[in-house]
Chain A
Amino acid sequence: MSTTSTTSEGWFAFDKQDMMVFILVMSLTGLQNAVTEILPEFTLGPLELGVGEFVFIPIVLVLLFRTYWAALAVPVGEIVFGEILLGEFDGLGAMEGLLLIPVCYYFAAKLLQDPENTTQLALVVFIAEGLEEFFAMFIDIGKVYVGVEELEAVPGLPESIFVLEAVDLVTQMVITGIVFGVIPALYLYPKLHGKVEPLLGMEPYQGERGASMWGGFSLKAFLAILLAFPLAFVAEAASEVGGAINVVWEPEFLEMYGQSFIAVPIVVAAIVAVVVWYRATRQTS
């Protein structure tokens, strides 16, 4: 069946088959993202009612191929198709998905030990989506805390942010997680299992009948989640809150030195620009 050779040089332990899987998952996630972008959606502030995403497509594909690369292709697809092409790319903010989604999906995919056990399948899909949404909620809350100065001084604001985010988590889990996640995944996974893998020249995952999910508990994957969460938070905070600037650049600081202190970052930026320009022109000449 397989006609492509699998050499491991080049892409660090990323062989041709990994690349096929990567392109497959990336294209489908991206297409799904672009399609759901077009479908009507009712967004009320941080609350999203309506078709957020056809999340069953990336999850089922990751469950079929069960590699870290397949899981990594999910956020890359969203970034390439959904954000860069449509001009919605938000730079460092995209790091949140890039860090969180692969570790959560990979961890959940490893938990699936018996592909014919429907309960296990449903649970795994739910865990994958739930983990990701759960961590994303904390990042959203933390973001506002870092970004709005003197947040606690406004009566009622911290509570309302917390309430809104919690309600959002619940609606997301019901709509995206169950209606567009678990239920279609239960149909799609058995229909694809053993059919798509041979197309790419791979053996389908057999698993073990009646194996428990604990057998697939990967400590490494779990540690990766715990490691990725703070990193994602830092990246998100750095993108949305301008990094350390917001901590130093308080209104008190400005009162002390005056707004004319603004010249310093501008001069620094100008110097950086000149240096970059100098280097770039020297390279090309």
Chain B
Amino acid sequence: MTYLDGLRDAASVDAIKNDLLKTAYENEGSFLHRLDPRVLLLWYFVFLFVPWLFYDTGVLLGLLAFVSLLAYVSRVSLFLVALMAFTVASTLASYAVVTAFTGDPMAAIRALIPFTLKLTIISVSSLAVFSSMGPKTLAQGLRSLGIPRQFTFLITYGYRMLPVLFEEYHDLVNAYRLRSAAPDSPGRFRWRHYAYILRISMRAFYPMIFNVAKRSRVTVEAMETRGFSHSLHDEASKDLQLADLRVRPLDVGFFGGSLAVVAVIAVTL
């Protein structure tokens, strides 16, 4: 029973919540975080294409190892990695099971493995890049590439608001739980318990909608008093915001180094 409890603790909603919030906020020290966001975006763009250049499973596995190392260095959430691994494995398995009825399952797996590997390489590299970049640097990078300020503002806004909203929502769920009675018997597989939690987590959105509505009105009014719309067309304000972006030798080294690694993998394997 204690093992079960331990498992439940590790997979509890709170642990996962903390894990996800850590992914979003605690990336200050990671290696990729120190790089220029524009270089990272370009790197990501290149790695969207690189896997499609190869058909050899060995080369693809090498690439996967390389991007996994990067993901490891940038401290990606274990929960997200496990989720992705499970999705990949179960997708392959389900195709095999269904193909067993319609044809040759082994041939299907063989045909799908390179495709799945390529998709996995791309997802792991996006996980590494976007979880280590941090929304503020991402917004800066996108802004310098010409994405409108309105959209990059929303990224930073979401960055600031997500923990607040999470906290508020959690409080509402707890308030609902205090004010209502839990089901007397949990039922088979505790289904009554889960149904009860689910109903409450849906109902807690009702007051939440009003809170967020008020908050968004206050946000917009506050932004207007500080001249948000006015600054949208002002070049000087853009320059000021992007003043600390700089491509340094480290960035070029990282970019060139990854390309060299790809070349080495392609030649040796």
Interface residues of A (CB under 8 A from B): 3-4, 7, 9-11, 14, 16, 19-24, 26-28, 30-32, 34-35, 37-39, 43-47, 51, 54, 57, 61, 76-77, 80-81, 83-92, 144, 147-151, 153-157, 159-161, 163-164, 180, 184, 188, 191-192, 195-196, 199-201, 239-243, 245-246, 249, 251, 254, 259, 262-263, 265-266, 269-270, 272-273, 276-277, 280-281, 284
Contact = CB atoms under 8 A, between A and B. Distances in A.
B165 A27 contact: yes
Contacts of A188: 206
Contacts of B208: 28, 31
Interface string B207-230: 011101111110111001000010
Given A27-B158, A200-B217, 8 more contacts: A35-B169, A90-B123, A91-B44, A184-B202, A199-B217, A200-B216, A269-B259, A280-B36
A34 B101 CA distance: 37
A86 B20 contact: yes
A49 to B, nearest CB: 12
A91 B48 contact: yes
B185 interface: no
28 contacts: A9-B229, A16-B220, A20-B219, A26-B154, A31-B169, A38-B16, A39-B198, A44-B90, A45-B91, A61-B209, A77-B158, A88-B126, A147-B115, A154-B99, A154-B111, A157-B102, A157-B108, A160-B102, A180-B202, A188-B206, A192-B209, A196-B213, A199-B210, A200-B213, A201-B217, A239-B48, A242-B118, A263-B263
B60 interface: no
B154 A80 contact: yes
A164 B17 contact: no
Given A23-B220, A90-B122, A90-B126, A31 B166 contact: yes
Interface residues of B, number: 98
A159 B102 CA distance: 7
B128 to A, nearest CB: 8
Contact of A243 (B49, B135, B259, B266): B49
Name the prevailing secondary structure of the A interface residues. Answer: helix
A280 B242 CA distance: 11
Contacts of A89: 126, 130
A17 B115 CA distance: 45
Nearest to A147: B115
B79 to A, nearest CB: 9
Contact of B161 (A27, A269, A272): A27
A22 B119 CA distance: 32
B191 to A, nearest CB: 12
Max chain B C-beta neighbours (<10 A), residue from A16, A77, A157? A157
B87 interface: yes
B147 interface: no
